[in-house]
Amino acid sequence: MYDTGSTAFMMICTMLVFFMTPGLAFFYGGLSRRKNVINTMLMCFAVIGVVGLVWVAAGWSFAYGGDGSLSWFGGFDQLGLNGVAGKMLAEAADVPDGTVYPTIINVMFQMAFAMITAAIVTGSVAGRMKFGAVLTFIAIWSLVVYSPLAHMVWGGAGSLIGDKIGALDFAGGDVVHISSGVTGLLLALTLGGRRGFGLTSYRPHNVPFVALGAGLLWLGWFGFNGGSEFAADGIAALAILNTVVASAAGLASWLVVEKAQTGKPTLVGGVTGLVAGLVVVTPGAGFVEPWAAAVMGLIVSPVCYFAISKLKAKFGYDDALDAFGCHGVGGLLGGVLTGFFCVPELSWTSHGGLLYTGDFSLLVSQVVGILVTLVIVVVLDLVIIAVVRALFHGELRVSEHDEALGLDACEHGESAYPAYTGLDA
């Protein structure tokens, strides 16, 4: 018989993670320009449709199918989720040892992860990429990059990063944040800067939208990190507590840094800090003590603040809504800090954090796992970008006229604020 408590817990966590993608739509929509808010939000919602279909067709099979013999890929045996219903019925009749809830819940839970990961990517291309090109890229990327990477990290015995390298990723530092942030950066570099980039000051058009989106993300993140324990137990509770602590520390830290740098703490800054805190603790949510989660949150905000405020200007890349600056950089930092702060008894491997053991083994594994992730993501991203560019006759970007007028009108024929008659360059 299934554990009804863990079954209910995982179903609730699944719904919470699904909730994150609409939350991100509000977060990104508020940060965007008035003339692009429909396009920005629709990219997130459209990802739900695209990734939902792709995940059922092949994504789940590529990530978690097969017999475990391949270190980098699942298999083709569960295409179209063939046999999943029969497996569920067989399980119910004779529940295998250690199975606390129906494994079909994992299909939904991991689908929600795939959705939010792909949606994060869209923040880097806001305001200038063709809508069809975005969705085509996401469809291919979900199958070619996300699903195999999920297998490499979370595929169990024999998996390349999680087992052979021995890197820890509790809820998605490599799989979610590094992959999406780096992908967003590569797309931003490919597209070039928005019209007026470097000359115009881009301001969020709706700060309450940003705060609302951050609140929805915050809520969903409890399911994101807590559910990654896959049981209603003490580790899940620890992951949820660490989620609260790290996000609180990230928020507070960002406000302090912003006050010191600009003289004025802002709401957009505060909620960006809380998201950075959520990102940095994700790889180690179930591995570290709450005090360590606080330290991680305090550290990540200055690092991400620097990446967003200084690196973009120095290197000239237009990561429009800071997917790389927040998720990519925060995920990289979180993976490394997990190698310092992991409690040995909580580790999935035989190695604990450097702080506890004085042994560099886990820290080295974390760094190697991150480097392997970066190589895989960068190489495959460049191939996919080339393929999508060819499909769209060499041009991923909207015309200069359409960009100036706004993607809401040109790509969708809608206006978020039809009564507004002011200028929005």
Domain CATH code at residue 383: 1.10.3430.10
User: How many structural domains compose the chain?
Assistant: 1
For the beta carbon of residue 74, count every other beta carbon within 10 angstroms. Answer: 25
Which structure tokens are listed for 227?
A: 């559910």
> Distance between CA atoms of 180 and 407, rounded to whole angstroms?
23
Sign of CA dihedral 127, 172, 274, 42: positive
Q: Is residue 424 part of a domain?
A: no
What are the angstrom distances between the C-alpha of 63 and each of 56, 148, 181?
A: 11, 5, 20
Q: Is residue 330 part of a domain?
A: yes
Give the number of residues written for the chain.
Answer: 425
Closest CA to 63 of 99, 101, 9, 117: 117
> Distance between CA atoms of 48 and 54, rounded to whole angstroms?
10
Q: Is residue 333 part of a domain?
A: yes
The DSSP secondary structure of 290-325, one letter per residue, reads HHHHHHHHHHHHHHHHHIIIIIHHHHT---TT-III
> Distance between CA atoms of 221 and 120, rounded to whole angstroms?
14
* pTM for this predicted structure: 0.96
> Distance between CA atoms of 33 and 25, rounded to whole angstroms?
13
Q: Is residue 127 part of a domain?
A: yes
Q: Is residue 421 part of a domain?
A: no
Domain that holds residue 158: 4-409
For the beta carbon of residue 410, count every other beta carbon within 10 angstroms. Answer: 18
pLDDT tens digits for the chain (425 residues)? 788 999 999 999 999 999 999 999 999 999 999 999 999 999 999 999 999 999 999 999 999 998 888 999 999 999 999 877 777 677 766 777 667 888 899 999 999 999 999 999 999 999 999 999 999 999 999 999 999 999 999 999 999 999 999 999 999 999 999 999 999 999 999 999 988 776 777 789 999 999 999 999 999 999 999 999 999 999 999 999 999 999 999 999 999 999 999 999 999 999 999 999 999 999 999 999 999 999 999 999 999 999 999 998 889 899 999 999 999 999 999 999 999 999 999 999 989 999 999 999 999 999 999 999 999 999 999 999 999 999 999 999 999 999 999 999 999 999 999 876 665 55
Q: What pLDDT score does 423 carry?
A: 58
Note the helical H segments in 142-289: 147-154, 179-191, 207-226, 234-262, 267-281
Q: Is residue 417 part of a domain?
A: no
Strand, coil or helix: 113: helix
Q: Is residue 425 part of a domain?
A: no
Which structure tokens are listed for 87?
A: 């497996």
Do 320 and 123 form a contact (C-beta atoms < 8 A)? yes
Q: Is residue 415 part of a domain?
A: no
> Distance between CA atoms of 352 and 365, rounded to whole angstroms?
11
> Distance between CA atoms of 165 and 160, rounded to whole angstroms?
6
What are the angstrom distances between the C-alpha of 416 and each of 33, 34, 407?
A: 11, 7, 11
Closest CA to 412 of 41, 152, 22: 41
What single-letter amino acid sits at 92? Answer: A
The DSSP secondary structure of 356-371, one letter per residue, reads HH---HHHHHHHHHHH
Closest CA to 402 of 413, 394, 392: 413
